Amino acid sequence: MSNKLRLRFAKTGTAKFISHLDLMATMRRGLLRAGVELKYSEGFNPHPYMSVALPLSVGMSSACELIDIGLSTDYFPPDDLAQRTTSVLPEGIVIERAYVPQRKFSQIDWVEIQGIFHYDVPVENAANSLAMSFMRQSIVVSKRSKSGVCDIDIVPHIKRIDFSGDSEILLSAVISAQNPTLSPENLLAALSGEYAGLKPDFAAFTRIEIFDSEMNVFL
């Protein structure tokens, strides 16, 4: 028996432009319309117990989002919860499964991302040049955190990074999910100075999967 459920969902298409706060409100309304009895905090401004594993940047798609929800009942059968809730959510938000969580979000260590780099003027040998640019021993970028802006060497926090393609460059990478959290913007920030010419005119990113420290898929 449990009064908490975890939902795994995709956020794609136009839904990728929904901000984190708006996503929380959207999910709350969708769950209520689907008949889910959410648990609320007490006090003058009650709010539902809902927590997203890794808040997504606006404009980034994902195939592996996780959200925990508290239930006011001891147990809610999750068998058809995913389908019923998806039917009342905006296009692009698809709940793939609902289950009782066994692990804490703090156990997420790595995230796999894919990206597309577009150049208005083609860059010769761009894929190889991009790969070489990330083979440096140290790449220091400015990163914003809760305590302000700080400089961080991102090299130790990139597990894998590959580039391929010609006119459009495809990125595939596994980067640190937490402590510290690396983002696609941090990777783009690495393309400065002598590598500034490799910075794309347009880039789009998708979160593909999340893993624990042993590179097992986190659920």
CATH number for 175: 3.30.70
Q: What are phi and psi of 3, to 5 degrees?
A: -110, 25
3-state secondary structure of 74: coil
Under a CB-based contact definition with an 8 Å cutoff, are residues 180 and 174 in contact? no
| 13 and 98 inside one domain | yes
- Domain extent, residue 116, equals 107-211
- Map tokens 């449990």 to a residue: 2
CATH of the domain at 94: 3.30.70.580
**Domain closes at, from 51, 82, 102:** 102
Domain-ending residue, one of 102, 124, 154: 102
* Cβ partners under 8 Å of residue 154, min gap 6: 139, 140, 141, 182, 186, 187, 190
Q: Residue 167: is its pLDDT beyond 70?
A: yes
Segment 115-149, tens digit of pLDDT: 999 999 988 899 999 999 999 999 999 887 777 78
CA angle 18, 24, 30 (to 5 degrees): 95
Report yes or no on 216 lying in a domain: no
Q: Name the average pLDDT for the chain.
A: 90
How many Å apart are CA 26 and CA 89, to the nearest integer?
A: 7
In a domain, 217, yes or no: no
Comparing 32 with 64, which gets the higher pLDDT?
A: 64
Q: What is the spatial distance between Cα 212 and Cα 219, in angstroms, rounded to a whole number?
A: 9
Q: Are residues 27 and 93 in the same domain?
A: yes
Co-location of 163 and 84 in the same domain? no
Contact 9, 16 (CB under 8 A): no
Token pair listed for 123? 């860059």
> What pLDDT, on a 0 to 100 scale, did the predictor assign at position 75?
61
Residue range 35-68, pLDDT digits in tens = 888 888 887 888 889 999 999 999 999 999 999 9
Instruction: Say if 219 falls within a structural domain.
Output: no
Same domain, 26 and 50: yes
pTM of the model: 0.89
* 174 neighbors 111 (Cβ within 8 angstroms): yes
Asked if the structure places residue 218 within a domain, the reply is no
Q: Within 13 Å, how many C-alpha atoms sit on residue 24's CB side?
A: 14
- Could you tell me if residue 159 is inside a domain? yes
Domain-embedded: residue 50: yes
